[in-house]
Every structure is written in C-alpha cells, then in structure tokens.
Structure 1
C-alpha cells in the first residue's frame, strides 16, 4: 500500500469514528425538518347526461351497430335504422366533477359488456369506453381545470343489435369512481 492510500484510509476511518463524538460526550445532536400539507377541496361528482343509444329497429339480417363517440357524442349507425322523434335521442354519458385546481384525478370504472332487457332476460352486447385511454394501472387520468375547478368525463361505445333481438328496453348500470392522486 502506498502512502497516499494509507493516508486516505486513515482520514476516512477518523471521519467515521469521530463523527458521533458530539453525541457521545452528552451534548444533543439536532437536525431541522420541514412539514407540509396540501389541503384539497372535497371531490364532488354528478351525472349530467345518461348514455343513451336511442331507439333503433332490429336489423332484417346480420348485426346492426350504434356507436356513440365518447368525446363528441356523435352517433353513427351500421346496418340499423335509427327512429327519430322519440324522446331518447342518442347521446354520450357525461359526468362533471369538481375539486382543487390542477390536481390529478384518477377515474376507475367497471363497464358492463351487455345491456339486459330485465335481470336474467335477453341481452345485447355493448362495448363502452371513456373519452381517454387508461394508464398502465387501468385508471383514466383527468386534471381539475384551474379556472372552473371542474373536470368532465365522457362515456360512449358501440352497441350491437343482432338480427332477431327481442324488442324492448335494454339497460345496464355502472359505477364511476374519482379519487385524487
């Protein structure tokens, strides 16, 4: 070992051995810490519009589809006729939440894959989706608007009506949960 290595090792050993000397001689050791809190407004969340695929006529052959865009609410139809003038016009589902400015909100939901005529009765397949893609944890990320202190969620999707579907009212229920992150 050369003199520089030996001297460096001796200095390091002295620093390790001598550092707690002030505490060892009975004098207290102190350190300063900080404490912080962000106080947020409680989240509130309401349904503005229910998702509605409107009124359609069962296709004469094959499958018919109704698609509601979750961002714009615009409907489109394939191999199916929409019945205009009935009170349930097609529309996307809309939820409005309020909270603290610029805070990140995670939204989770388990969306149904079928609409049922009655519990256990006939059903039709549906593929619902929110107005954005989920993150790697399966949550949808929104940010509270700094001016209006709100965030909006749109829900749309595609309803498939097979030939021979029994006429009637079909529905499903789903929960949407919003939490601060």
Structure 2
C-alpha cells in the first residue's frame, strides 16, 4: 500500500506540476515609420516669347520659319532670307523651386495659337500656330516631361520655352498674340 500511496503521490505531484502555468516567452516584431517631407512647388516667371517685328519680302511667294531657341540667350541667325527683322528675340523663362531629387511632371503645351489682335476685317481673326520647344528635352507627344530638381528651394532651376513660327505670303498682316500655361506637379 505504501507503494501505491507513493505512486499516487508521485502522479499527483506530476499532475500539479503540469497544471502550473509555464512561463511564456515574449514575442517581438519591428515596424518602420516613413515620412517624406517636400517643399511646395513654386513656379514663377513666364514672361514673353518675343519674336519681334517681321517685314515680309516683296516677292509673290515666300515661306520661312522663325525659331526662338529655348535658352537664356539667342545664338545663330534669327532673321530669314528676304525678311527684315527688328526687336530682340527672347524665350520665356520659368523658375521652379521645390524639393531636390523628387520626381515631378512639367507640362508644356506642344503648340500655342496666336490670334491677330489688330484684325478689323470681317469674320474670325486670323491665327498662327507656334510649335513650342523647351530646354528640358526634345518635344514628346504628350507635352509632359518627367524631371527632378537638382536643388531644394532657392535659387531653383530655370527652364526656357521657345518655339517656331512659319510665315508665308498667306499670313495676314497684324499683331499676333497668344498665351500658354506651364504646370508643375510632383508625381
């Protein structure tokens, strides 16, 4: 009987030991917090694409294209054979400030419609179409250019917009003007 009691006591001790809570090991996991702070985009400038005054040739047939380079200064020959030109040709300059190395879209229209603002004839005023060019890259089909600023805030980066305009004997005389909008937006 003593053995039975000892056996029962041993079984009871094992049962009590098994019933005691086992110390749990703590589980851990890490999380990362990310935040990117960007400066607001500030787009200033614009100004004017100045083509100047163009006096057409006296010949019956002519056609020439005048190009304003998308640069701070114009180089090369601007005036075309047979034309007389005056004024200082200049590209429009836009300054963009924001956060460096942050991808953004710069949208520049591919064409600008110029309307004859001095038109006194009947019907709608004549128009000309200027094809734009810019200092970012060769024109693409969409007019949206992906770029990044090489600096943050001031002084920003300057971008230039120029263009080409074709004048023929069919072009009505007068002063032509048109406006366009350049847009910058982070991706």
Same fold (TM over 0.5): yes
Aligned to 1:69: 69
Deviation of residue 78 (structure 1)? 2.5
**In structure 1, how many angstroms separate the alpha carbons of the residues matched to 2:151 and 2:82?**
43
Aligned to 2:5: none
4+ long deviations beyond 3 Å: 27-31, 134-138
Deviation of residue 73 (structure 1)? 4.0
Deviation of residue 113 (structure 1)? 4.6
Larger radius of gyration: 2
Aligned to 1:21: none
Aligned to 2:175: 169
Aligned to 1:55: 53
**In structure 1, how many angstroms separate the alpha carbons of the residues matched to 2:100 and 2:148?**
8
Alignment of 1:128 with 2:166, yes or no, is no
Q: Which shifted more, 133-142 or 36-45?
A: 133-142
SS state at 1:121 partner: coil
- Specify whether residues 134 and 125 from structure 1 end up closer, same or farther in structure 2 by C-alpha distance, changes over 3 A only: closer
For structure 1, the 5+ residue unaligned runs are 1-26
Aligned to 2:105: 106
SS state at 2:177 partner: coil
**In structure 2, how many angstroms separate the alpha carbons of the residues matched to 1:37 and 1:102?**
15
**In structure 2, how many angstroms separate the alpha carbons of the residues matched to 1:49 and 1:126?**
16
Q: Is the 8 A contact 1:58 1:165 kept in 2?
A: no
- Specify whether residues 82 and 107 from structure 1 end up closer, same or farther in structure 2 by C-alpha distance, changes over 3 A only: farther
How large is the RMSD of aligned CA atoms in angstroms? 3.0
SS state at 1:56 partner: strand
Q: Is the 8 A contact 2:108 2:181 kept in 1?
A: yes
Deviation of residue 49 (structure 1)? 2.9
SS state at 1:125 partner: strand
TM-score normalised to structure 2 length: 0.68
Deviation of residue 41 (structure 1)? 1.0
Aligned to 1:11: none
- Specify whether residues 59 and 105 from structure 1 end up closer, same or farther in structure 2 by C-alpha distance, changes over 3 A only: farther
**In structure 2, how many angstroms separate the alpha carbons of the residues matched to 1:68 and 1:46?**
20
Deviation of residue 82 (structure 1)? 4.1
Per-residue Cα deviation, 1:4-60 (whole angstroms, up to 9, x for no partner): xxxxxxxxxxxxxxxxxxxxxxx9976322121111111111125311111111233
TM-score normalised to structure 1 length: 0.70
For structure 2, the 5+ residue unaligned runs are 1-24
Q: Is the 8 A contact 1:68 1:90 kept in 2?
A: yes
**Number of positions where the alignment pairs a residue of Structure 1 with one of Structure 2:** 153
**In structure 2, how many angstroms separate the alpha carbons of the residues matched to 1:135 and 1:36?**
35
